[in-house]
Amino acid sequence: MLLPYYLLAAAAAVMASPTVYLIRHGEKPDDGGNGLSAQGVQRAQCLRSVFGKDSKYNIGYIMAQTPKKSGKRTRPYETVRPLADDLGLTVDTSCDRDDPKCVKKAVENYKGDGNILICWQHEALTDIVKKLGADDAPEYPSDRFDLIWTDPSPYTKITETTSEQCPGLDG
């Protein structure tokens, strides 16, 4: 008679697990400099609506790769900071760009309300998805900045790829 109870408890645990959304940082300057280009700043502002409090995404935790003190690798943080400010969240920058194991641990340890948004360098997104559990993780296209990958628990497959649909930038 305890079997139905355990099945219900297991189902509740899966239902309570957050969905992970993965995005690339905003556009970079043509000269390869640090930070975001004007289009990247525009994208960061757009994400305030895409993932904001009135969106379907219900973001409760935001991660971006650790910026370098030299000013390099700041684009992911700069991309999600305006959204985090709107949501009253702190961006977790504790994981290095090339440390998908750290990202997996952070996802596993997250016990808060809402879903997880991860903003990273595009080439490393595939490694993160693989480390979370997807064997067939796609490659993020180098010529796109607008894709949202949806990776629901148990994180074994990207189930949806959509565009942020930022006006003047996408589509």
Q: Are the beta carbons of 103 and 95 closer than 8 angstroms?
A: yes
Helices 100-109 and 122-132, axial angle in degrees (round to 10): 50
Q: Examine the pLDDT at 64 and tell me if it is beyond 90.
A: yes
Average pLDDT over residues 96-112: 97
Q: State how far Cα 12 lies from the chain centre.
A: 24
Q: What is the CATH number of domain 19-163?
A: 3.40.50.1240
**Between the CA of residue 55 and those of 6, 8, 133, what are the distances in Å?**
33, 29, 27
The per-residue pLDDT for range 2-43, each reduced to its tens digit, is 555 544 444 444 456 999 999 999 999 998 889 999 999 999
Q: Tokens 């595939």 belong to which residue?
A: 126
Q: Examine the pLDDT at 71 and tell me if it is beyond 90.
A: no
pLDDT of residue 40: 97
Query: What dihedral do alpha carbons 170, 78, 87, 154 form, nearest 10°?
Result: 70
**Per-position DSSP letters for 23-78, written without gaps between them:** EEPPP--TT--SS--HHHHHHHHHHHHHSSTTSSS-EEEEEEPPPPTTSTT-HHHH
Average pLDDT over residues 63-92: 96
* pLDDT category of residue 87 using cuts at 50, 70 and 90: very high
pLDDT of residue 11: 46
The per-residue pLDDT for range 118-166, each reduced to its tens digit, is 999 999 999 999 999 998 899 999 999 999 999 999 999 999 999 999 9
Cα distance between residue 134 and residue 100, in whole Å: 13
Q: Taking the domains of the chain in order of start, what are their residue ranges?
A: 19-163
